[in-house]
């Protein structure tokens, strides 16, 4: 895979403020705007352009950010509407074309495709009530829009929201966590430890599990990510944990050191494979 050069410009030199992000070889520009900086953002000429935007709120109980996806022919007009009508969000990321060569049909197609992909990948809690209607495009325009989306996907992940990044499921990197009735497969990567759909966890917590383990499992059950089947809890989707130990604790229903509980098919722990790897240590 070829490398990409991405630049991030911070107009007021505050790294937690407005950011302008683009690629050296692309046409897509991203504008990250915290909600408390909307007044400053009104001066940006890019917000007079058509584009697609993502309203982003705090993560829900299981760590998925709340996201609303929309499009507008004049982004600033729509942002002002959402500022008075939607409460959940605290930042917005807008995507426009640096060449100003996207139209209403393009952004409607992007809106539909982005919502569909976000729902499929399932790394955010989508706030859209329905998937928007897809506009009709020529084959040439579809290719153009998909190139736009590829850069959008890269830039939104660079800004800290990898909501379109699918789990790779590289067979050579799959690890296993098992015990009693539990048997889970997953992969350790950029998003932490991803537990794959269909993995099984112990049904009842141990007496020494601790409240954080119990509450984490309770939240996953309430969100439908864990579902009871045949005296075990089963993952209904791929789910990313921010640490190997958090995932192992959920699976084994007790406090656990995930670095030694997760092992490859040869029985080597991820501690041995990653933390004690000779090429790094």
- The Cβ-side half-sphere exposure at 207, using a 13 Å CA radius, reads 0
Q: Is the per-residue pLDDT at 191 higher than 90?
A: no
Biggest distance spanned by C-alpha atoms of the chain: 61
The kind and range of the H/E element at 110 are helix 104-121
Beta carbons of 38 and 90 less than 8 angstroms apart: no
What number is the average pLDDT over the span 70-94? Answer: 97
Beta carbons of 66 and 21 less than 8 angstroms apart: no
Lowest model confidence (mean pLDDT) among 1-5, 135-139, 157-161: 1-5
Could you tell me how many helices (H) and strands (E) the chain has, helices first?
8, 14
What pLDDT does 206 receive?
93
What pLDDT does 279 receive?
54
Beta carbons of 68 and 54 less than 8 angstroms apart: yes
Q: Give the gyration radius of the chain's Cα atoms.
A: 21
CB atoms within 10 A of CB 230: 8
Rounded distance between C-alpha atoms, residue 213 and residue 248, angstroms: 10
Burial of 51-79, coded b for 16+ CB within 10 Å and e otherwise, reads bbbbbbbeeeebbbbbbbbbbbeebbebb
**Long-range contacts of range 183-190, CB-CB < 8 Å, 24 or more positions apart?**
184/235, 184/247, 184/251, 186/247, 186/262, 188/244, 188/262, 188/270, 188/274, 190/162, 190/165
Rounded distance between C-alpha atoms, residue 75 and residue 81, angstroms: 10
Q: How far is CA 56 from CA 10, 156, 184, 224, 240, in A?
A: 19, 11, 31, 22, 19
Beta carbons of 96 and 106 less than 8 angstroms apart: no
Q: Indicate the average pLDDT of the chain.
A: 93
Rounded distance between C-alpha atoms, residue 101 and residue 92, angstroms: 22
Q: How far is CA 2 from CA 5, 28, 172, in A?
A: 10, 18, 22
Shortest CA distance to 159 belongs to which of 2, 28, 25, 1?
A: 28
End-to-end CA distance of the chain: 26
Confidence class for position 61, pLDDT limits 50, 70, 90: confident
39 or 1, which is more confident: 39
Beta carbons of 123 and 89 less than 8 angstroms apart: no
Rounded distance between C-alpha atoms, residue 152 and residue 161, angstroms: 11
Q: Is the per-residue pLDDT at 167 higher than 90?
A: no
User: What pTM was computed for the model?
Assistant: 0.86
């Amino acid at each position: 895979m070829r490398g990409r050069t991405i630049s991030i410009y911070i107009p007021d030199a505050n790294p937690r403020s407005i950011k302008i992000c683009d690629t050296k070889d692309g046409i897509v520009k991203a504008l990250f705007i915290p909600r408390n900086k909307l007044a400053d953002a009104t001066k940006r000429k890019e917000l007079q352009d058509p584009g697609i935007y993502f309203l982003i709120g705090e993560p829900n109980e299981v760590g998925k950010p709340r996201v609303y996806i929309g499009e507008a022919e004049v982004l600033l007009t729509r942002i002002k509407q959402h500022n008075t009508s939607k409460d959940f969000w605290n930042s917005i990321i807008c995507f426009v074309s640096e060449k100003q060569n996207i139209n209403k049909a393009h952004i409607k197609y992007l809106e539909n495709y982005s919502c569909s992909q976000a729902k499929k990948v399932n790394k955010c809690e989508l706030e859209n009530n329905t998937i928007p209607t897809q506009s009709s495009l020529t084959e040439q325009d579809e290719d153009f829009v998909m190139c736009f989306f590829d850069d959008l996907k890269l830039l939104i992940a660079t800004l800290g929201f990898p909501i379109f990044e699918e789990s790779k499921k590289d067979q050579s990197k799959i690890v296993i966590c098992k015990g009693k009735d539990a048997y889970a497969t997953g992969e350790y990567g950029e998003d932490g430890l991803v537990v794959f759909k269909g993995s099984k966890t112990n049904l009842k917590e141990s007496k020494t599990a601790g409240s954080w383990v119990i509450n984490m499992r309770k939240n996953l059950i309430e969100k439908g990510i864990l579902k009871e089947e045949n005296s075990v809890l089963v993952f209904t989707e791929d789910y990313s944990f921010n640490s190997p130990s958090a995932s192992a604790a959920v699976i084994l229903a007790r406090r656990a050191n995930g670095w030694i509980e997760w092992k490859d098919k040869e029985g080597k722990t991820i501690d041995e494979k990653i933390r004690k790897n000779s090429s790094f240590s």
